[in-house]
Amino acid sequence: MAKQRRIYRCSSCGRVHSQWMGKCSQCDEWNTLVEDIVQETRAVRAVKPGNNEPIPLGSVASSPFMRKKCGMPELDRVLGGGIVEGSLVLIGGDPGIGKSTIMLQMANSLAASGMRILYVSGEESAIQLKLRSERLGIVSDDILVYPEVMLEEIRRQIAALRPDIVIIDSIQSVFSSQIDAPPGSVSQIREGAGMFMEIAKGMNTVVFVVGHVTKEGWIAGPKMLEHMVDTVLYFEGDASGVYRILRAVKNRFGTSGEIGVFEMKSTGLIEVSDPSSIFINGLGGDVPGSAVMATVEGSRAFVVEVQSLVSRTTYSMPKRISIGSDQSRLSVLLAVLEKRAGVVLSHSDVVVNIAGGMRVAEPAVDLAVVMAIASSALDKPLQRGTVCVGEIGLGGELRPVNHMEFRLREALRTGFTRALIPASNSGSLSSVNGMDLVPIAHVGDALRTFSR
């Protein structure tokens, strides 16, 4: 039997201690140490140990992996073109975001193409699953519902039934009776992930594992979980809103960064094939505090609306709230606005929001954020049909952005005819017919476009 070790993990800072103590020596918090049992798990490798010889790369026989479309184009895109035989996919997201819904819809679509699916439900009873399937209009005898939480039993059933697809909902609910730790603990999650990896590689089965996220938004459990699996998908969006974004943050069989967009309805998730149509509201020019940017996610470009509200603060410390874009980046941009363009907002609360529950992490959004803030502060809308793309440096200079032509073509397609872009981009850009390009060298130049 594998060796077990007792450790004490601080629930506040995560530091591991070899013995229990009242106060964590790292974060100085009292009574935060929680006992956990870790097991020396066998590493799962694609290479069998021993009897291997070095071979020239050119002589390695290539065998293309088998990919199968799951029939949901937005999900197929995120998976890199479809599901790959023998792969282990982790899908994480906030409570109630729609993880079980998308898994059931995918199961239905795959069952229609003749596959057998084992849906292991550790969180919901078979009746709860049935209620969801009735709401989604799913009835298929090729989906086997299996309410079980014990890993050894799950392995036995998979070996007996040999399904094409296994869905584990969720990794936090299953446990091994061999390990003296509660379900959801680090050692149980590691054991479960190791076992599902063995099943995926050993039986050539595709295993989808649902994972909870922590309040910081990371998949709960060891980071090693994300290293072990082939693909990590995050389901994002505001659970109270209608749009959901599925993002590939890691993919051994495709591009990471690819996104799929869905609309949550009572009948299930509906795919949105043209995201630009949902993230903007007209061509702007009506309301102050709104600027549109063209972003690139994976192989797609689309336009998103950045909204801002600047109001006089009633607090000694003005509030800075950023929803859908980087909070610390907002502080940097406000400092640049003050120091390089003389726009002082130290007595104002500033809220920035990317409309539609979208999250934009790339710095190319900087110019749109600054223009939305300035538009709200000046109470002047941007000229109708304007799109803003550019990164802003600490000196207030506009820095070039990649895929500019791709972005501008998408903006043009959706009706935008004027683009504020970094001057350093305009040199290398071949003309985009129908788009009036306004090269901007400095953030101050961008603000002057308001008075034109």
Question: Could you list the residues that contact ligand ATP (CB under 6 A)?
Answer: 93, 95-101, 123, 135, 239, 264, 266
Binding range to Mg ion, per CB under 5 A, among 93-101, 153-161, 345-353, 426-434:
93-101
8-state DSSP, 191: H
| Nearest-approach distance from CB 99 to Mg ion, in angstroms | 5
Q: In this structure, how many other beta carbons lie within 10 angstroms of the beta carbon of residue 249? A: 15
**Among residues 173 and 276, whose Cβ is nearest to ligand ATP?**
173
Nearer to Mg ion among residue 124 and residue 305 (C-beta): 124
Q: What is the CB neighbour count within 10 angstroms for residue 356?
A: 21
How many CB atoms within 10 Å of residue 360? 20
- Candidates 8-16, 97-105, 193-201, 323-331; binding stretch for Mg ion (CB under 5 A): 97-105
Residue 51 CB neighbour total at 10 angstroms = 5
Which listed residue (32, 39, 100, 325) binds Mg ion by CB under 5 A?
100
CA distances from 242 to 29, 97, 236, 306, 351 (A): 40, 10, 11, 18, 22
Q: How far is the CB of 107 from Mg ion (least distance, A)?
A: 13
Q: Taking the complex as a whole, how short is the minimal distance between the CB of residue 167 and ligand ATP, in angstroms?
A: 11
Q: Which does 433 bind (CB under 5 to 8 A by kind): ligand ATP, Mg ion, none?
A: none
Nearer to ligand ATP, 243 or 279 (CB): 243
Cβ proximity to Mg ion: between 100 and 322 the closer is 100
* H helical segments located in 379-420: 404-413
| Amino acid sitting at position 398 | L
Environment class of residue 38 by beta-carbon count within 10 Å: exposed (0-12), middle (13-18) or buried (19+)? buried
Q: What is the DSSP letter of 245?
A: E
Residues 361 and 326: beta-carbon distance below 8 Å: yes
Question: C-beta of 225: minimal distance to ligand ATP in Å?
Answer: 17
Distance between CA atoms of 412 and 407, rounded to whole angstroms?
A: 9
Q: Which one, 83 or 269, has the nearer CB to ligand ATP? A: 269
CB 206 within 8 A of CB 86: yes
Q: Decide if residue 325 touches Mg ion (CB under 5 A).
A: no
**Is 100 or 376 the residue whose CB approaches Mg ion more closely?**
100
# of chain residues touching Mg ion (CB under 5 A): 1
Say which residue the tokens 């020019």 belong to: 285
Interaction partner, residue 137 (Mg ion, ligand ATP, none; CB < 5-8 Å by kind) = none
Cβ 269 to ligand ATP shortest distance, Å: 9
Strands (E), 41-112: 67-68, 83-84, 88-93
Q: Which is nearer to ligand ATP, 77 or 244 (CB)?
A: 244
Task: Give the pairing type, strands 88-93 and 206-212.
Answer: parallel
Instruction: Pick between residue 96 and residue 202 the one whose CB is nearest to Mg ion.
Output: 96
**Residue 165 vs 367, nearer CB to Mg ion:** 165
Binding piece for Mg ion, criterion CB under 5 A, among 100-108, 132-140, 318-326, 372-380? 100-108
With CB atoms as reference, the residue minimizing the distance to Mg ion is: 100
In SS3 terms, 111-137 reads as HHCCCCEEEEECCCCHHHHHHHHHHHC
Residue 242: CB minimum distance to ligand ATP, A? 8
Q: What is the DSSP letter of 382?
A: P
Least distance to ligand ATP, CB of residue 71, Å:
18
Q: Minimum distance between the CB of residue 261 and ligand ATP, rounded to whole angstroms?
A: 15
The radius of gyration of the chain from alpha carbons, rounded to an integer in Å, stands at 25
For residue 100, the minimal CB distance to Mg ion (Å) is 3
Q: Any idea what the Cα angle at residue 358 is, between residues 366 and 219, rounded to 5°?
A: 110
Cα end-to-end distance, the chain, whole Å:
76
Q: Which residues bind Mg ion (CB under 5 A)?
A: 100
